[in-house]
Structure 1
Amino acid sequence: MPKSYVFTEYGGPETQAFVDLPRPVPGPGQLLVAVHAAGVNPVDWKVRAGYLREFLPLPLPATFGTEVAGVVEEIGDGVEGFTIGDEVFGALPLLGGYAEYVLLPVQTAARKPAGVSFTDAATLSVSAATAQQGIDRLNLTPGATLLVNGAGGGIGVAAVQIARGLGATVIGTAGPGKAEFVSSLGATHVPYGEGVADRVTAVAPNGVDAVFDLVGGDALYAVAHLVADKSRIVTAADPTAAAELGGGYFQVEQTGDTLSPVAALVASGALDPHVTTVMPFAEAAAALAQVEAGHALGKTVLTMR
């Protein structure tokens, strides 16, 4: 039977396991996808740890993973616009991506361009889509100075590139170990931690025009005063801080209409997802541990085929 990687209860890595599950059968509005690659994201271990159980209660065991790329094998009733054999990618609203086969809702599926690899496509539904939608909300103009708070992860990597493509000057906070990586994207790296605001001010003495926050909490409060207009703060990490500061919080919209433009950016060469770690499905535990420890540069992807 097809394998899936699950957590059997809320807690730490000791709750994780491979299990054999029946091959799913697509219902109305669903695609059965043979998964070629699945993105590994911080939300995966956060769900397992129980941080989101109040908002996302799940029947257990639950399969990890929220974004996949693969090939359509079967089509459920009422599905239009897709055929068997189509190469697709998309988002799974209730997890399930660390598996050899998944049921992908047609509303959250998009065709994979021929020039985009499965491993790249498997990173677009969460990180790249979040980056594009966050940058869109800021409506940056050429020459604007943007602070990306948390530039070393998957969303930050995409956000820096998209903002640079719009002609913005980008400053990115990240750990010291990610300095060279962040700089290679075209951003000015600033180490996070105590004194971060002073270090940003040294680079941008007149402050910044906007903040795209991917960290939240104290890290956001530490830099919020650097932008005069607090409505120019957008966070994908901390709705409480956004409300207190007068900024905006958003959750990524994952539909075929919002995902296809991101894939087009990758196909054109305007966006590199920077998949820096590709591991076979058998090493799912190690891949997730790397992301949970915060040591991953760019994106981590599991390959099933």
Structure 2
Amino acid sequence: MKAIAIQRYGAPDGLAVVDLPAPGPAAGQVLIAVRAAGVGGVDAVIRSGALAAYGFAEGFVPGGEVAGTVTAVGEGVDASWIGRRVWAFTGTGGGYVEQVAAPVREIVPLPADLSDADAVALGSSGAVAHFALAHAHFAPGERVLVRGAAGSIGIMTVQLAVRAGAAAVAVTTSSAERGDRLRSLGATHVLDRSGASTGAQDAPADYDVVVDVVAGPGLPSFLDLLAPNGRMVAVGIVAGQPPADFGTKLMDAFRKSLSFATFSADTVAAADLRAVRVEQFAAAARGELAAVVHKVLPLEEAALAHRKMDAGEVFGRIVLTP
């Protein structure tokens, strides 16, 4: 079968089409004919080589989520899954393929009215957004700032915060056009990448919750935008690690009783993730949540997808189709 592997770290051109043996489902797994594979920010970070020290060797196949049809089941799995459309979490990688085996505990059946592409625009990002807001102890009536809101996690965080009754949802983004699109999804204020207001309507002076998808050198300055007792949760590192002196900045937070936390969906029980995904897929099928797909590309054009991500061109999620 065809797959996309990282043949060398660095630029997107290090991604290449390779032939791999078709997998078979082991005990407790299903085999999925992939119809859509989501391209996530972590895929680009892994491809860059920034996480090579964590065991991502060259030859690694990226892709953490797919949607498609179950074609076979392993020992101990109910055969009624065969023929059903599902979304699946494939772990930190393995999704840029034509066929993939996934644990049955990591699959979610898809509503008939939800496309495969929409499923992979929602599946991982929606759950991360939900539990990040919970991790921040967000409550209705609070003011929320989403840093890096044009990506799929940011877009879902905006929608979920609005849906849950936030008093204000401010976003940072790179252009007026993106700001308008985020407003259409419920954002109340648009800020530039530094956190300064770009609109005629003044943004809140501070926020109860900041959800940060970006990290990198600019992360510490967003602590200054927290209200007393405010909470920041970092859910991504698309701009790299925070600066080495970030700990000094955290010491300054004592005077306002601020909290800083990181969040990974890996710390959430599979059953809890599944329940949230079932609810969100149903809400999207009813038109209550928007799945934002930037572009659908053939699997063979994974390098182009990564070039678009590196250039900051993507609003939502790029989807690859074998």
> Do they fold alike, i.e. is TM over 0.5?
yes
> CA deviation digits over 1:128-177, x for unaligned, max 9?
21111112223433332111111111111111011111121200011125
What CA deviation, in whole Å up to 9, does each residue of 1:111-135 have, x standing for no partner? 1122211001112332221111112
Moved more, 29-38 or 239-248: 239-248
Between the aligned partners of 1:81 and 1:22, the Cα distance in structure 2 is: 23
Change in Cα spacing, 1:290 to 1:199, as seen in structure 2 (3 Å) is closer
Cα 1:192–1:60 shift into 2, 3 Å: closer
Residue in structure 2 matched with residue 248 of structure 1 by the alignment: 261
Name the % identity.
34
Residues 229 and 249 (structure 1), Cα distance of their counterparts in 2 relative to 1, 3 Å cut: farther
Q: Report the Cα distance in structure 2 between the residues aligned to 1:284 and 1:114, rounded to whole angstroms.
A: 27
Once residues 15 and 121 of structure 1 are traced to their aligned partners in structure 2, the CA distance between those partners, rounded to angstroms, is 27
**Residue aligning to 1:232:** 231
Aligned pair 1:189/2:207, yes or no?
A: no
- Deviation, 1:53, is 2.2
State the 1:230 CA deviation.
Answer: 5.0
1:289 Cα shift? 1.4
Partner residue of 1:10?
Answer: 9
What is the number of equivalent residue pairs in this alignment? 299
Aligned CA-pair RMSD: 2.4
When residues 106 and 145 of structure 1 are mapped into structure 2, their CA distance, relative to the original with a 3 A threshold, is same
Q: 1:218 to 1:13 in 2, by over 3 A?
A: closer
Aligned mate of 1:272, from 244, 267, 290: 290
Structure 2 CA distance for aligned equivalents of residues 82 and 59 of structure 1: 37
Alignment-derived partner of residue 125 in structure 1:
123
Q: 1:46 offset after TM fit, Å?
A: 1.2
Distance 1:216 1:160 in 2: 18
Q: In 1, Cα distance between the equivalents of 2:228 and 2:107?
A: 37
SS of the residue corresponding to residue 11 of structure 1 reads coil
Residue from 265, 287, 303 that aligns with 2:305: 287
TM-score by length of 1: 0.89
**Compared CA separation, residues 84 and 231, structure 1 to 2 (3 A):** same
How far is the alpha carbon of 1:95 from its aligned partner?
0.8
CA distance 1:259–1:14, shift in 2 (3 Å)? same
Instruction: Give the TM-score normalised by the residue count of structure 2.
Output: 0.85
CA distance in 2, matches of 1:202, 1:81: 57
Cα deviation digits, residues 39-98 of structure 1 (max 9, x gap) = 11121121122112223x135412121110000011011224852011110211141111
Read off the aligned partner of 2:101 and give its amino acid letter: L
Q: Secondary structure at the match of 1:297?
A: coil
Q: Which amino acid aligns with 1:186?
A: G
CA distance in 2, matches of 1:115, 1:70: 14
Judge conservation of contact 2:121–2:292 (CA < 8 Å) in 1: no
Secondary structure, aligned partner of 2:225: coil
Residue 96 of structure 1 corresponds to 94
Partners of 2:321 and 2:103 lie apart in 1 by 21
Structure 1: any 5+ residue segments left out of the alignment? none
After superposition, the Cα gap between the structure-2 partners of 1:265 and 1:184, relative to the gap in structure 1 and judged at 3 Å, is same
